[in-house]
Amino acid sequence: MITPPTVTVVPPTIPLTAVEAHLFDLLKLAVAKEAKGTVLRVAGGWVRDKLLGKESDDVDVALDNMSGASFAKSLNTFLQQQGFETRSIGVILANPDQSKHLETARVLVLGHWIDFTNLRTETYRADSRIPDMAFGSAHDDAHRRDFTINALFYNLQTGQVEDLTGKGLSDLLSPEGVIRTPLPALTTFLDDPLRLLRAVRFAARFALPLDDDIVKAAKDGDLQKALYEKVSRERVGIEVEGMLSGKDARPALAFEMLVSLGLTDVMFRLPEEMKVQLRPERGRDGWAEEGLGTVRMVNLLLMYREDDGLLKGDDKKEDEFATTMTKVLQGLRESEAYKRPRREHRLLFLSAMLRAWAGHYTVEEKKIVKKGRESEREKRVPIVQWFIREALKLRAKDAEDMTLLLGTLDRLQALSRSMATTTTTAAAAAAAAAATMAVQEADNPGIGGGGVKGGENSNEQRVRLEAGMVLRELKELWRTGLDLACARELAITFEEKLEISAAVTTLKAVTTSFLEVLTRYRRTREALEIMGLDQIWKLRPLLDGKAVITLLRLQKGPMVGQVMEAQIEWQLQHPKEGVEALTEHLKGLMAAGTFSAAEGEREG
């Protein structure tokens, strides 16, 4: 039996909204009518967030002498008697196999769903890790919660905050704040291994360090095995999504901790048969560090975009250049700007973390039924898609988008270099953009055939085609794609500079290299917008399929698709031209035998 410490009680410092005050008054009236002396305590996240000055509608109420279902039933009856709208009580059953050991009842009160559970204590039999649950004291319940910052109670009857672990308030509010477990971390995590990932999510969300006991527990083999085998992939995916896009999410901080704790292979789990097949460039043991390096550069890019004076070089020679540069980046990672929430960039951070797996595939057997006969065919699946769909159970759209982003990195990097050397001026680009949009928005493709001819520079044409085709592929993701390509190039630049001798390199040389990359991608982004390509995937062929068939006397088939593709390529290179010039161009291609009747084939 745990000896209760002195309870830290704070005078009421939680200001209630009018809705909260009304809600809590109703609950107290319901308790008084029940006349069982029940004490109501709001637990966990609501108390934590209110103490931080943030609003929360996540109200969980703990009861000291009734089950959640029993109180929910009497509360619903009371609300009906008072003339309030009620709904059926929702009961979430205990599921020990998924580490959910307590039944929860959910009731609609004043338009808000409130969860009710009883305070509990847990005991373990020698032959089982699944606890026997029993009614417990508030002290017992607090010590069975995941973290001290989530073990705070707000007593509805007294209006006071109760810190029964004696550490929750200081861990949450003091300058020495930390994510800590009420009991020894390994005990808490073996109860529910997913809590280890929750520790990372909360530490990143509140920009707090992990307690040393948590760091030590994370290395435990039994715990990692339990997290790997016991916790469903759906629950793991929910925690990862929280790290990426949850409230105040800081993806870079989360990935820093996951790599440091050695949890990336647990999160991005590969079956044993795949491990034999797949070997990223740095090996399976090095992919996470490579990904983290790119994640750090994503954050550096976003920081630079907010403050372009971030990187300042120094001509001073350093004795140990690599150590110096590492310290500079470490200083950036410890800055408030680095720790800023960035949930809107979830896909960018996740793609950066999995950068090493770009171009790697696994093989899946796919059953095909044709003319009543069933057969199997092997299908190559990008391993990144497998991670997203199977290891994390995230959205299929995420898997497709990430595959596209990682698959266009080389083309985007090449594009940024091409655009850095193009002679296209802003004025010429703007004129080209206006012509492009005029043709694109024409209601009748037959109108506007007398565009201005000539004047296009071959280099400009090549860049427009190169840019237009990759942007049509990426669509709305093109800015994210450029950011990812920039971060990858920054990471490679950093790695290369670390290998250069301090005798011939200064810190200024490194920051100059960084600024060259950052500036080049910024100008690429701006130029693409000036050129009117930021919506280029909406560009329609000037001639539709019917017009193409009539004009070139074609039969329906693959050749029509090739002509439609050739139209788009030509329109990208000649934004000032119209139907007349296009027709002449297509007839020339036909005469040269460019198009083929074979499926998907087209001569150079």
* CATH code that applies to domain 8-168: 3.30.460.10
238 has pLDDT over 70:
yes
Residue 592 contacts by C-beta under 8 Å, 6 or more apart in sequence?
Answer: 603
Cβ(532)–Cβ(572) under 8 Å? no
Instruction: Tell whether the model's pLDDT for residue 447 goes beyond 50.
Output: no
Percent of the chain exceeding pLDDT 70 equals 77
The per-residue pLDDT for 343 is 83
- Please count the other Cβ atoms lying within 10 Å of the Cβ belonging to residue 271: 12
- pLDDT of 341 reads 85
pLDDT of residue 123: 56
pLDDT at 442 over 50: no
How many beta carbons lie within 10 A of that of residue 294, not counting itself? 24
* 3-state SS record for 114-183: EEEEECEEEECCCCCCCCEEEECCHHHHHHCCCCHHHCEEEECCCCEEEECCCCHHHHHHCCCCCECCCC
Whether the CB-CB separation of 301 and 485 falls below 8 Å is answered with no
> What would the pLDDT profile of 292-309 be if each residue is shown by its tens digit?
999 999 999 999 888 877
pLDDT bin (cut points 50, 70, 90) of residue 131 is low
CA distance 55 to 67: 28
User: Rounded to the nearest 5 degrees, what angle is found at the Cα of 503, between the Cα atoms of 497 and 505?
Assistant: 35
Q: Is the pTM of this model over 0.85?
A: no
Q: How far apart are the first and last CA of the chain?
A: 80
Pairing label, strands 104-109, 8-10: unpaired
Per-residue pLDDT at 99 exceeds 70? no
Compute φ and ψ for 562, nearest 5 degrees: -65, -40
Instruction: Tell me which of 1-15, 446-460, 566-580 is least confident.
Output: 446-460
Residues sharing a CB contact under 8 Å with residue 19, sequence separation 6 or more, in sequence order: 110, 112
Report CA dihedral (265, 266, 271, 276) to the nearest 10 degrees. 20
3-state secondary structure 64-102: CCCCHHHHHHHHHHHHHHCCCCCCCCEEECCEHHHCECC
Distance from CA of residue 225 to its chain's centroid? 25
User: In the structure encoding, which two tokens stand for residue 260, read together?
Assistant: 């440091």
Q: What is the structure's pLDDT at 313?
A: 53
Amino acid in the structure at residue 72: A
Residue 203 CB neighbours (<10 A) = 23
pLDDT at 34: 81
What are the φ and ψ backbone dihedral angles of 41, each rounded to 5 degrees? Answer: -130, 125
- The chain-wide mean pLDDT, for the chain, equals 82
pLDDT digits (tens, 9 = 90+) for 462-477: 899 999 999 999 999 9
Q: Which residues contact 313 (CB under 8 A, 6 or more apart)?
A: 506, 507, 508, 509, 510, 511, 512
Cβ count near 134 (within 10 Å): 12
Tens digits of residue pLDDT in 496-545:
766 654 444 566 777 788 899 999 999 999 999 998 999 999 999 999 98
Q: What is the mean pLDDT of residues 226-248?
A: 92
The whole-angstrom separation of Cα 470 and Cα 536 is: 10
Integer angstrom CA distances of residue 366 from 374, 375, 376, 377, 382? 10, 8, 5, 5, 15
Residue 307 is predicted with a pLDDT of: 85
Q: What is the pLDDT of residue 87?
A: 76
More confident residue, 450 or 150: 150
More confident residue, 11 or 375: 375
Rounded-to-10 torsion of CA 259, 262, 264, 267: -130
Asked whether the beta carbons of 394 and 237 are under 8 A apart, the reply is: yes
Domain ranges of the chain: 8-168, 403-538, 545-591
Provide the pLDDT confidence category of residue 157 given band limits of 50, 70 and 90: very high
- The pLDDT score that the predictor gives to residue 401 is 96
Q: Which residues pair with 91 in a beta bridge?
A: 105
Residue 60 backbone zone (phi > 0: left; psi -120 to 50: alpha; other: beta): beta
Residue 153 has pLDDT above 90, yes or no: yes
pLDDT tens digits, residue range 368-402?
Answer: 666 666 666 777 889 999 999 999 999 999 999 99
The pLDDT of residue 284: 58
Q: What is the pLDDT of residue 362?
A: 82
Residue 415: pLDDT band with limits 50, 70, 90 = very high
Question: Contact at 8 Å (CB) between 353 and 244?
Answer: no
> DSSP string covering 188-202, please?
HHHH-THHHHHHHHH
Note whether 597 and 559 are within 8 A (CB). Answer: yes
The model's pLDDT over 306-324, given as tens digits with 9 standing for 90+, comes to: 887 777 655 555 545 555 5
Residue range 57-73: mean pLDDT, rounded: 90
- With bands split at pLDDT 50, 70 and 90, how would you rate the model's confidence at 201? very high
Taking the C-alpha atoms of residue 281 and residue 163, their distance in angstroms, rounded to an integer, is 50
